[in-house]
A and B are shown apart, each in its own frame.
Chain A
Amino acid sequence: MSALTVHTPQQAPDRAPEPRRRLVALPRPRLRRAPSVVHGVVALAGLGAIILGQLAMSMAIGEGAYEISALQSTSAQLSREQQTLQERLDTLQSPQQVSLAAESLGMVQGQASQFLQLSTGAVLGGPDALHMQQPATSTDGGLLVANELVQSTDAAPQTPVAAEEPVEPEPYPGMLLPVEGVAPAVGG
């Protein structure tokens, strides 16, 4: 062999056999179809419905609030009215007013109760009459027991009732009045 270096061609490194490329035509990108009008309409309609619904709801709530407010104010007004009437009633049923009204109707103090003693069958009278008639007003016309409310409120118009003749009550079974001619027995 000669000294010639034999230039041996370097072996190319082994290469994996290239896979066979497949060239495929890209699919033609499908053009996105424009969203259909229906969808838009649905979405907008939905949005509109939600907005309208919310509006309606808040209107309803608002309406309710006004109604509550109106009712509360009516209730407050009625309770004021009730109180005003109650005040008048309290004044009208004060003892001064009652005795004034009773006197203007010609009424007088009633008799004390009488008592039936079961053991003896006697009718026991109550106390003897008071020395005073207990009118509502004194001789000078003022109330004996002052009440500014009665004096300042015009007494409810008292239609003067024609003084009726005292009617002797018809005796009836069980009545407690003494029978004529029999004085009530007094116990003690």
Chain B
Amino acid sequence: MPTIQRIARATRVRSILTAIVVVALVGACVVRLVDIQLVRAEALNADASGRVGATAPVHGTRGDIVDANGTVLAGTVDRWDLTISPQFVHDLTERDGLEPGQVVTGGEIFERLAAITGDDPLAYQAAVDAALQANPESDYLVLDTGLDGTAYQSVRDLQDELPIGFVTMRSNPQRIYPSGSVAGNLVGFMGTDDPLAGLEMTEDQTCLAPEDGTQTFERGADGTPIPGSTVVTEQSADGGTLGLTIDADVQFQAQQLAEQYRQQYQAEHANVIVARTDGSLVAVAETPSVDPNDPGATDARYRISYSFAQGIEPGSIFKTMAMAAMLDLGLVEPGDEMTVPWRYDPDGPVRVQDAHSHPDMQWTATGAYVQSSNVGMVQLAQGMDRDDYFDYLSGFGFGQADVGFPGEEAFPLASDPSGLDAQTQLNVLFGQGIQVTPMQLVGAYQAIANGGVRQDIHLVDSCTLADGTVVEQPAGDSNRVVSEDTADTVLRMMEHVVTDYGNVTFPIPGYRVAAKTGTAEVVLDPSAGYDPVQRIVTTAGVFPADDPQFVVYVQLDLPQTERTSAAAIPLFHDMVSVLIREYDIPPSTSQAPNLPLEWTD
């Protein structure tokens, strides 16, 4: 009997002890769990994330920029940076899984890498040594950037061959411009990370820029990502495709012509602008022009689009606007007869004279315009209130910036035209004493070509988002500047400039072309006034004159071998011919106008 009792007691003690031990263990675990999961969670996580898991960005692709026909002007390509973890660089031996006795030294690894990238292996060695000197635990060093797909594959092959986990490739997409400087002035270019010029900059946030995502992965002791551990924690989103109204073919030919004529006349620079009658731009050629693949090769002042930024005193090309205003106000008829001397020198402080001396001419208003007579314009405009004139100029778009292009200038018009001095009041009739951009001139001629209605100049057509949604660019403002009748009359007068100005290269047989030339004086040294010899020569025109489709504007700055508009006319002629050939425009079948230019008693 006592034995049984003893056994029973022992059993009880044992089970109590067991229970106590179990409860204590569970309790300890719970305490530890709470401690780790709740109390010290943040500190531990922060501690761990650097050691095991790593976070890397997932790059979205920046959107392309394409022309009206889908030709890619700017695209994104994958490029890689070659990076190395200096603290883990070592000679590879048997311990790294090589054959017994086989040794691959660090120097050999550098040589192999440099053979792929074309760099100097000694430079790699020096960079790694320098990094280790600065920080013995240095874990990140960029050896080379911008490796293309071929080089990437070669490094991958090398990684398969040798256990070099300390060499990693980091994706770093880059921008390329397959057509080079074709529309480079419009497209702009990128810096290391951010857009620096052109549409790359203005349309960055509205269309092109992608949204980067993030991914995390775990890495081994030597920094190698562990395969299969990558988790994308945030999806990236690609940028949209920006569609322009530009036609790259025409743009290329315009740039070719501009550069050829610039060289022929030894001009400082040349530009050619082609717009459709709805205000959309076909080509904005400037030369010299930036090649966005290598912006540094171009002089800094030519890395912008000066069609938007350059301020010129337009000269005679501006008489079209003055004539349109006077016709629309009913002050002038094309056939008005007048006697025009070559100088206008009334009593008082003002004086105006024509470019060349001539006897008193019996010109009609059309004749004075075709002969580009400053005196004739002053005589015609005697009854015109300058406030009215400036209202028209504002309607033609002067003093405004439509496009919002980087560097685009507005050059506000004088706020009190009647308060201008007497000489300037006369000079603004033939484009002096007023500053405008080439693009504003294109906008004004576009109003004439479009039946008197000016539409905002634009060069972006649409943005196609990554999911295929097409976001059309909102149509700009349109406003009626002059009546349709006035626009028609001005066009007919401009046609006489082409046929009767006396320049044989001006007309294009079979086609009705309307245009006006300008030979503008320039101020090169502000203290010296107008330069006595240097000129900016221009021609702006509309064609076909019977059914306007295009506005063409050409400009040569400071040509040396020919300093009159005779230097701009051949460029204008060739540009119009290119458009006819490119768009297969049939010859005009209607009769050219026949306005009287002179009168007899």
Contacts and interface: CB of A to CB of B under 8 A. Distances in A.
Interface of A: 65, 69, 77, 80-81, 83-84, 87, 90-91, 93-96, 110, 112-113, 115, 117, 124-132, 134, 138-139, 143-150, 186-188
Give 7 closest A-B pairs by Cβ, nearest first: A147-B180, A90-B178, A84-B149, A148-B293, A127-B577, A80-B149, A148-B294
B505 A187 contact: no
Given A115-B587, A132-B260, A149 B180 contact: yes
Contact of B256 (A93, A113, A134, A148): A134
B510 A187 contact: yes
Given A96-B180, A128-B577, A84 B75 contact: no
A145 B259 contact: yes
Contact of A80 (B78, B294, B511, B592): B78
A186 B510 contact: yes
Interface in B547-601: 570, 573-574, 576-578, 580-581, 584, 586-590, 592
Nearest to B263: A138
Contacts of B150: 84
A64 to B, nearest CB: 12
B293 A145 contact: no
Which of A87, A146, A186 has the most chain B CB atoms closer than 10 A to its own CB?
A146
Nearest to A143: B180
Contacts of B509: 125, 127-128, 186, 188
Contact of A187 (B181, B228, B574, B588): B588
B379 interface: no
B577 A186 contact: no
A188 B510 contact: yes
Nearest to A82: B149
A29 B166 CA distance: 75
Contact of A69 (B77, B227, B263, B586): B227
Chain B's interface size range is 35 or more
Contact of A117 (B177, B257, B505, B589): B589
A96 B182 CA distance: 9
A83 B77 CA distance: 8
A21 B249 CA distance: 123
Given A115-B587, A117-B589, A127 B252 contact: no
B75 A90 contact: yes
Contact of A124 (B72, B227, B259, B586): B586
A170 to B, nearest CB: 25
A2 B509 CA distance: 180
30 contacts: A80-B78, A80-B152, A81-B153, A83-B77, A84-B149, A84-B150, A87-B176, A87-B178, A94-B179, A125-B510, A126-B587, A127-B510, A127-B511, A127-B580, A128-B508, A129-B577, A132-B261, A132-B574, A138-B260, A138-B263, A145-B182, A146-B180, A146-B181, A148-B291, A148-B294, A187-B587, A187-B588, A188-B512, A188-B589, A188-B590
A12 to B, nearest CB: 35
B297 interface: yes
B253 interface: yes
Contacts of A117: 589
Which of A125, A130, A187 has the most chain B CB atoms closer than 10 A to its own CB?
A130
A90 B72 contact: yes
A151 to B, nearest CB: 9
Contacts of A95: 179, 182, 248-249, 252
A3 to B, nearest CB: 54
Contacts of A130: 257, 573-574, 577-578
A113 B581 contact: yes
Nearest to A68: B228
A80 B592 CA distance: 59
B77 A87 contact: yes
A84 B147 CA distance: 11
Contacts of A113: 581, 584
B148 interface: yes
Contact of A150 (B180, B297, B580, B584): B180
A144 B577 CA distance: 19
B583 to A, nearest CB: 10
B255 interface: yes
Contacts of B260: 132, 134, 138, 144
Contacts of B294: 148
Contacts of B589: 117, 187-188
Given A138-B263, A145-B255, A126 B176 contact: no
Contacts of A147: 179-182, 291, 293
A132 B182 contact: no
Given A124-B587, A145-B289, 5 more contacts: A65-B228, A90-B72, A115-B586, A139-B263, A187-B589
A183 B49 CA distance: 84
A77 B297 CA distance: 34
Contacts of B153: 77, 80-81
A144 B259 contact: yes
A110 B574 CA distance: 14
Interface in B412-439: none
Interface in B237-262: 248-249, 252-253, 255-257, 259-261
